[in-house]
Structure 1
């Protein structure tokens, strides 16, 4: 009886072995088991280094000082703002005189005083309703000068990092004094009137200077202070390059062949800046 059962079992297994799917199924099963073991082993092996990496970050990590410097420099770069509290109610009534501007903008950058036109070295800002308004610091800085000029009105000068200076003239009331440190947006006074820009009524005259050169404030509003560095470098490069049409004589002086020898120099009398007591007023047009 036992022999019959053993023979039946052997026949059963032999029939299974003869099936076409038996060996492929067995191979797939073995491969799946091996793959499972390999994946489990790899995950187990990677857990220890991850814990060590975390310990190194928390215990031995030291911040990179160069990264901190980079963040601090970016944080110090202020955006140049129009020196008014409400920009929507402000309008520019006199533009900065630019030789490369179109004729209309150049005409809007001329100031008539004492029957003579002067080129504006800044911009004049007035309120849409013509009323007085609060004048704010365009950049954070230090008040270096507060004075009353007979032609330009009350004047406040602020110095900033990187040899940048902002200049505010035609002020009415003044709320700062020399030596004060002001933050961007702080009030430095109110718009007023002056003789030199009397046609503009109540306004503030605003200038931006870099290394003693005046730049068009409109071109730098809502831009970082670093933009002034690039503009100043470009201006220096242009000033160093010789003009086409100019020739240099043996003595090192430049001569323009198109210049008329009989041309008379422009009259320099009746210059309102000469009537002021401060030399800086001679280069500023309110």
Structure 2
């Protein structure tokens, strides 16, 4: 037993005599102390850092207490109703009253020997083949029907009073009341009596309230742009209505003034103004102006005698 103790002591003595032993020991102890201090500080500073970060976000207008908005509820971007890799292109454009005559001519639809202004856009493939029709926005299907002129029709309601309308469909895959996501397949392109010259095609409309708007103007734009456009349109319509009301009031008052002037200074057929009658002439008695025919005759006879 004594021999074992003496051996272990001699090992420690030899170890202590090494030049690197004590520096290594000091470094190891320092590292342990430094690690302990850093760990302690990180644990106590986390709440303070969190409060500091919260103050920064609040100063920037972010409410950190609000729940995160799900991706599905964020403002969507309006997409075309056909896949990006589809060969379908726009063959009939939206009729824009501000467009040039050539563009307006290309936005007319011939039916029953009459031309009608297109309230949407028509898609068709160059080879005449059918293609998938996709939901341009997420929403609720409000109508699925078969129309005599426009073929199978699907209408979807979205937020802020926006709706999308799909016509000339085949193999409809949705039903009224169904929730759809952007990009879901609604049907395939088909045919309609109203645009039978286009064969297989899709007629697509975007409705801002009850008003059709040019879909191509809002592709790749957030839905909020439609709401802004609606607000601007309503403001213009209100201003136009006010202006029309003022003009109508002015036109109503103008004839009254003209009539008053006409009564004050009547004109003859030649355009020359007649003088205003004297007050004495106006007050003449009808008995003075008109004499009986018999009395006038007797007066004439007396004069001759």
TM-score by length of 1: 0.64
Task: Tell me the CA shift for residue 57 of structure 1.
Answer: 4.2
Deviates more, 1:148-157 or 1:88-97: 88-97
Task: Tell me the CA shift for residue 86 of structure 1.
Answer: 3.5
Distance in 2 of aligned mates of 1:252 and 1:153? 49
Query: Does the 8 A contact of 2:86 with 2:131 survive in 1?
Result: no
Counting only pairs closer than 5 Å after superposition, residues 76-87 of structure 1 correspond to structure 2 as 76-87=74-85
Task: Tell me the CA shift for residue 94 of structure 1.
Answer: 0.6
Deviates more, 1:69-78 or 1:117-126: 69-78
Structure 1 119/133 Cα, relative in aligned 2: closer, same or farther at 3 Å? Answer: same
Higher relative contact order (CA 8 A, sep 6+): 1
Q: Which residue of 2 aligns with 1:66?
A: 63
Give the counterpart of 2:95 among 80, 97, 105: 97
Q: Which residue of 2 aligns with 1:200?
A: 198
Give the counterpart of 2:223 among 222, 225, 229: 225
Task: Tell me the CA shift for residue 72 of structure 1.
Answer: 2.4
Give the helix-richer structure, 1 or 2.
2
SS of the residue 1:209 aligns to = strand
Distance in 1 of aligned mates of 2:96 and 2:51? 59
Q: How many residues align?
A: 208
Task: Tell me the CA shift for residue 249 of structure 1.
Answer: 2.6
Structure 1 138/252 Cα, relative in aligned 2: closer, same or farther at 3 Å? Answer: farther
Q: Which residue of 1 aligns with 2:248?
A: 249
SS of the residue 2:95 aligns to = coil
Counting only pairs closer than 5 Å after superposition, residues 133-282 of structure 1 correspond to structure 2 as 133-242=131-240, 248-250=247-249
SS of the residue 2:226 aligns to = helix
- CA RMSD of the aligned region, Å? 3.3
Distance in 2 of aligned mates of 1:128 and 1:111? 19
- The superposition leaves residues 157-200 of structure 1 with CA deviations (integer Å, 9 ceiling, x where unpaired) of 00111111000001011000111111111111000000101111
Task: Tell me the CA shift for residue 56 of structure 1.
Answer: 3.0
Distance in 2 of aligned mates of 1:102 and 1:73? 44
Query: Does the 8 A contact of 2:88 with 2:131 survive in 1?
Result: no
Distance in 2 of aligned mates of 1:98 and 1:127? 24
Distance in 2 of aligned mates of 1:135 and 1:172? 10
- The superposition leaves residues 37-57 of structure 1 with CA deviations (integer Å, 9 ceiling, x where unpaired) of xxxxxxxxxx99876442334
